[in-house]
Amino acid sequence: MEPVQHVAIIGAGNMGSGIAQKSAQEGFDVQMVDREQPWVDRGQGIIAGFLEEAVERRIFSEADVAAIKGRVKGVVGTENTAPSTDLVIEAVFEDFDVKTAVFSTLDDVCEPHTILASNTSSLSVNALAEATGRPDRFVGLHFFYHPAKNRLVEVIPAATTSAETIERTVQYCKTLGKVVIVCADRPGFVVNRFFVPWLNEACLLLEEGIASAAQIDAIACKAFRIGLGPFGLMNLTGPPIALHSTDYLAEQLSTPRYTGASNLRALVEAGEMWPIGDDGTYDEATYATVSERLLGVVFGVAAQIVEEDVCSMEDVDRGAKVGLRWAKGPFELMNRVGLKEAHRMAAAYADVAGAGWSVPEFFSRQAEDGDGWDFSYVDLHMDNGVATITINRPEAMNALNETVVKQLGQAVAKAHAAEGIHTMVLDGAGKAFVAGADVKFFVDKIRADAIPDIEVFTAGGHVVLDTIEASPLTTVALTTGLALGGGLELALACDYRVGTRRSSFRFPETGIGIYPGLGGSQRPARIMGRPSARWAVLAGNMMDAGTAHALGILTHLVPISEVDATVTSIAAAGKPEAKYPGQPNDATHPVAAFAAAFYADEHVETLLAGNCPEGQDPEDKQVARQMKFLSRVAPVGLKMASDLIDATEEASLAAGLQMELDGLEAIFSTADALEGLSALIEGRRASYTGA
* CA separation for the pair 520, 489 (Å, rounded): 5
Average pLDDT over residues 224-243: 95
Q: Which of 141, 86, 144, 94 is nearest to 115 (CA)?
A: 86
The answer to whether 117 and 91 have CB atoms below 8 angstroms apart is no
**What fold does the segment set 6-182 form as a domain?**
Rossmann fold (3.40.50)
Q: Is the pLDDT of residue 1 over 80?
A: no
Is residue 362 within 8 A of residue 303, CB to CB? The reply is yes
Q: What is the Cα–Cα distance from 37 to 538, expressed in whole angstroms?
A: 55
**Cα distance between residue 504 and residue 591, in whole Å:** 15
Q: Give the pLDDT of residue 53.
A: 93
CB atoms under 10 Å from CB of 136, counted, come to: 15
Q: Is 669 a catalytic residue?
A: no
Q: DSSP per residue over 443-504, as a string?
A: HHHHHTT-HHHHHHHHHHHHHHHHHHHT-SSEEEEE--SEEETHHHHHHHTSSEEEE-TT-E
Least confident of 83-87, 143-147, 521-525: 143-147
- Kindly name the residue from 122, 142, 489, 532 that is annotated as catalytic: 142
Q: Please give the angle made by the CA atoms of 596, 602 and 603, to the nearest 5 degrees.
A: 75
Mean pLDDT rounded to a whole number for the chain: 96
Confidence of residue 307 (pLDDT cuts 50, 70, 90): very high
Told to judge if 142 belongs to the known catalytic residues of this protein, a careful annotator would answer: yes
| Average pLDDT value for residue range 561-570 | 94
- Is 335 known to be catalytic? no
Query: Using CA atoms, how far apart are residues 642 and 636, in angstroms rounded to an integer?
Result: 10
Hey, where are the domains in the chain? 6-182, 191-369, 378-682
Residue 459 near residue 405, CB atoms below 8 Å: no
Q: How far is CA 144 from CA 39, 117, 151, 352, in A?
A: 21, 15, 8, 30
In the prediction, which pLDDT does 399 show?
95
Catalytic residue among 119, 122, 150, 192: 192
Lowest mean pLDDT among 63-67, 291-295, 368-372, 452-456: 368-372
Q: 378-682 architecture in CATH?
A: Alpha-Beta Complex (3.90)
316-354: per-residue pLDDT in tens?
999 999 999 999 999 999 999 999 999 999 999 999 999
Query: Which stretches of 344-422 are assigned E, i.e. beta strand?
Result: 378-383, 386-391
User: Computed from CA positions of residues 443, 447, 448, 452, in that sequence, does the dihedral angle turn out positive or negative?
Assistant: positive
Do strands 543-544 and 504-506 pair parallel, antiparallel, or not at all (unpaired)?
A: antiparallel
DSSP label at residue 613 = P
What does the pLDDT look like over 151-164, one tens digit per residue?
Answer: 999 999 999 999 99
Q: Is the pLDDT of residue 383 over 90?
A: yes
pLDDT at 470 over 90: yes
Least Cα distance to 623 among 587, 600, 598, 588 occurs for: 598
The pLDDT, as a whole number, for residue 94 is 87
670 confidence band (pLDDT: 50, 70, 90): very high
List the catalytic residue out of 154, 314, 469, 489.
154
Tens-digit pLDDT profile for residues 429-445: 988 999 999 999 999 99
Whose CA is closest to 149, among 2, 309, 295, 325? 325
Rounded to an integer, the average pLDDT of 306-312 is 98
- Please, are residues 373 and 316 in contact by the beta-carbon 8 Å criterion? no
- Per the residue annotation, which of 121, 126, 312, 532 is the catalytic one? 121
Omega within 30 of 0 (cis) for the link into 142 = no
Phi-psi map region of 188: left, alpha, beta (phi>0 left; psi -120 to 50 alpha)? left
Decide if pLDDT at 463 tops 80.
Answer: yes
Residue with the bigger pLDDT between 82 and 438: it is 82
Ramachandran bin of 582, using left for φ above 0, alpha for ψ from -120 to 50, beta for the remaining angles: left
Between CA 455 and CA 445 the distance in angstroms is: 10
Least trusted range by pLDDT, from 93-102, 419-428, 590-599, 671-680 = 93-102
**C-alpha span between 151 and 238 (Å, rounded):** 21
Query: Sorting pLDDT into bands at 50, 70 and 90, what band is 560?
Result: confident
Say if residue 676's pLDDT is above 80: yes
Q: According to the model, what pLDDT value does residue 691 have?
A: 87
By CB atoms closer than 10 A (0-12, 13-18, 19+), residue 370 is exposed
CB atoms within 10 A of CB 287: 16
Q: pLDDT, tens digit, for every residue of 587-631?
A: 999 999 999 999 999 999 999 999 999 999 999 999 999 999 999
| CB-based contact 6:85 (threshold 8 Å) | yes
DSSP collapsed to 3 states, 61-125: CHHHHHHHHHCEEEEECHHHCCCCCCEEEECCCCCHHHHHHHHHHHHHHCCCCCEEEEECCCCCH
Rounded to an integer, the average pLDDT of 412-428 is 98
Active site residue 343: no
Per-residue model confidence (pLDDT) at position 288: 97
Residue partners of 372: CB distance under 8 A and separation at least 6: 334, 335, 338, 339
Average pLDDT over residues 250-261: 96
- Amino acid present at 440: K
pLDDT at site 3: 86
Q: What distance in Å separates the CA atoms of residue 671 and residue 360, rounded to the nearest whole number?
A: 50
93-119 tens-digit pLDDT: 888 999 999 999 999 999 999 999 999
Nearest to 439 by CA among 495, 382, 374, 514: 514
What is the dotted CATH code of the domain comprising 191-369? 1.10.1040.50
Minimum mean pLDDT range among 1-5, 137-141, 517-521: 1-5
pLDDT at 228: 95
Determine contact, residues 7/84, Cβ cutoff 8 Å. no
